[in-house]
Amino acid sequence: MKSKAMDFTFRYGSLMIIAFVILFFSLWNENFFTYGNLTDILRSISIVTFVAIGVTFSLTVDGFDLSVGSTVSLTTVVAAALMVWYEQPLYVVIILPLVLGAIVGLINSLLIVRIRIPDLLATLAIMYIVAGVHKTFTKGYSIYNNMQLTDGTTAPGTFDESFLWLGQGKWLGIPVPVILMIIAVVLVHLFFTYTKYGRQMAMTGGNEEAARLSGVRVKRIRTAAYVASGVFAAIGGILFAARVGTGQVDAGASLLMESVAAVFVGYSVLGAGKPNVIGTFFGAVLIGVLLNGMTMMNLQYYTNDIVKGSVLVLALAVTFIHLNRKKQ
């Protein structure tokens, strides 16, 4: 009986907590469970979800990418600079940050897969390097319309309205970032479930040596996972710039912790016990609901970190208690 209760808690506990938290905040504030607020929550978690999908890719191959937050910041300021400083067309503003995200992923994979530096150490080093690069590029300043440049002149360009639509617009009454997030979650789920490369990533993360003996090109698969991580972080950076209409140098500072928490909460969704994009999405929903509800309760902003840290600790505790019990 105890074992069945533990299994039930692990499988459905996260979903029950999300439902309880939504019910609690709905009773606390009548404006919480409204279409406008719920879409605001989904819009707010869209960026975190894209970054968390990147982390999910790296964890699927038994790695870990700490550089996603810095990649978000880099691509946010680059996208802004391309419009405000250099007046580049929209396709350049979109493509170049994605290329930069892929390059960061390639560098990570070179250090981890080829040179065999442990993933935490390699991506930690890249995190600091990328942070230094984008702050050097911007000289520590955020980028915005009509900003004054260091030579005393005014920046010639402005944020493109089509670009801002990606972060602020709506289609059929649904925020565009929410639509993009749902599409991304569905496509990545289908990738991991039904494609050869998705299954090979899961095999590599489960047992790298067995995957190699089965003919999987493990190094190539792990490289692809880190490139995907960088690209999804870059998408998060693009959406961040489009949502706020500025290029903020520390845009990704808080996103690393939130994305990691979302991924590990996702471990326990429907008893997966492993990285999975559906669980990652629900993990992001839980964090978004908590932060939105606390804001409505007028709690001090610095309590958010306590809540995010607590959610991460709880998710890790539930996940590893269950996994250790299964091994016994």
Query: Is residue 243 a contact partner of residue 231, using CB atoms and an 8 Å limit?
Result: no
How far apart CA 174 and CA 258 sit, in angstroms, is 24
| Residue 271 in this model has a pLDDT that exceeds 70 | no
Please write the tens of the pLDDT for every residue from 30-75.
899 999 999 999 999 999 999 999 999 999 999 999 999 999 999 9
Q: Residue with structure tokens 């047992």?
A: 207
Kindly state whether residue 268 falls inside one of the protein's structural domains: yes
Of residues 257 and 229, more confidence is placed in: 229
List the domain range (segments joined by +) for residue 257: 10-327
Nearest-CA neighbor of 158 among 87, 107, 94, 61? 87
How far apart CA 96 and CA 89 sit, in angstroms, is 11
How far apart CA 320 and CA 314 sit, in angstroms, is 10
| Residue 119 in this model has a pLDDT that exceeds 60 | yes
Query: Is residue 285 a contact partner of residue 201, using CB atoms and an 8 Å limit?
Result: no
The pairing of beta strand 170-171 with beta strand 174-175: antiparallel
Kindly state whether residue 294 falls inside one of the protein's structural domains: yes
Kindly state whether residue 1 falls inside one of the protein's structural domains: no
Query: In sequence order, what are the beta bridge partners of 175?
Result: 170
Kindly report the average pLDDT of the chain as a whole number: 90
Kindly state whether residue 5 falls inside one of the protein's structural domains: no
| Residue 275 in this model has a pLDDT that exceeds 70 | yes
Query: In sequence order, what are the beta bridge partners of 154?
Result: 148
Mean pLDDT, range 97-112, rounded to an integer: 97
Kindly state whether residue 4 falls inside one of the protein's structural domains: no
Region at 30 (left for phi over 0; alpha for psi -120 to 50; beta for the rest): alpha
Q: How many domains does the chain have?
A: 1
Predicted local confidence at residue 145, as pLDDT: 93
| Residue 179 in this model has a pLDDT that exceeds 80 | yes
Kindly state whether residue 141 falls inside one of the protein's structural domains: yes
Kindly state whether residue 3 falls inside one of the protein's structural domains: no
Kindly state whether residue 316 falls inside one of the protein's structural domains: yes
Query: Is residue 256 a contact partner of residue 17, using CB atoms and an 8 Å limit?
Result: no
Query: Is residue 318 a contact partner of residue 10, using CB atoms and an 8 Å limit?
Result: yes
**205, amino acid identity:** G
Looking at residue 154, the DSSP 8-state letter turns out to be B
Please write the tens of the pLDDT for every residue from 232-270.
999 999 999 999 999 998 888 889 988 988 998 888 776
Query: Is residue 264 a contact partner of residue 56, using CB atoms and an 8 Å limit?
Result: no
Query: In which band, very low, low, confident or very high, does the pLDDT at 6 lie, cut at 50, 70 and 90?
Result: low
Nearest-CA neighbor of 227 among 49, 120, 100? 100
Nearest-CA neighbor of 76 among 254, 303, 221? 254
What CATH code is carried by the domain that includes residue 32? 1.10.3470
Mean pLDDT, range 210-217, rounded to an integer: 92
What lies within 8 Å, CB to CB, of 19 at 6+ separation is: none
- Whole-angstrom CA distances from 291 to 22, 185, 223, 285, 288 are 11, 22, 34, 10, 5
Assign 220 to helix, strand or coil: helix
Buried b / exposed e over 232-250, threshold 16 CB at 10 Å, is: bbbbbbbbbbbbbebbbbb
| Residue 99 in this model has a pLDDT that exceeds 60 | yes
User: At 38, which helix (H) or strand (E)?
Assistant: helix 35-60
